[in-house]
Amino acid sequence: MHGPGQDDTDVTLWRAEGERSGDTAFALFSPPPAWGTDAGGERRLLPDRTYQLTFTHHEDDYNGTVAFTAGDLSGLGTGQVWADDRAMDLDEFEELAEESC
């Protein structure tokens, strides 16, 4: 959805339909080719923008959303991830994810 004065160049969206399982690592704007994504908009981080990554699994109501800015990501140290509106190490993230499920 667009607000007043916005057009499609203000929106970056890619969507992958179908089943996915297991852990998958990929560059932020380059989902795996096998996902068959539809993509549009800028494919790079822009300053002063908030991005949102959302995933859902409809069968068991498993879902999540993370919002971030380019500044959030550039401030990450080696081995850190962005989740729950803050930087954390991978062990802390896995514990948070496990508690959330």
pLDDT tens sequence across 3-20? 344 444 455 666 776 666
Q: What pLDDT band is residue 1 in, cutting at 50, 70 and 90? A: very low
Own/partner contacts of 36-42, CB < 8 Å, gap of 24 or more, are 38/13, 38/14, 39/13, 39/14, 40/8, 40/11, 40/12, 40/13, 40/14, 41/8, 41/9, 41/10, 41/11, 41/12, 41/13, 42/9, 42/12
pTM for the whole structure: 0.70
For the cut 50, the answer to whether the pLDDT of residue 2 exceeds it is no
For the cut 70, the answer to whether the pLDDT of residue 81 exceeds it is yes
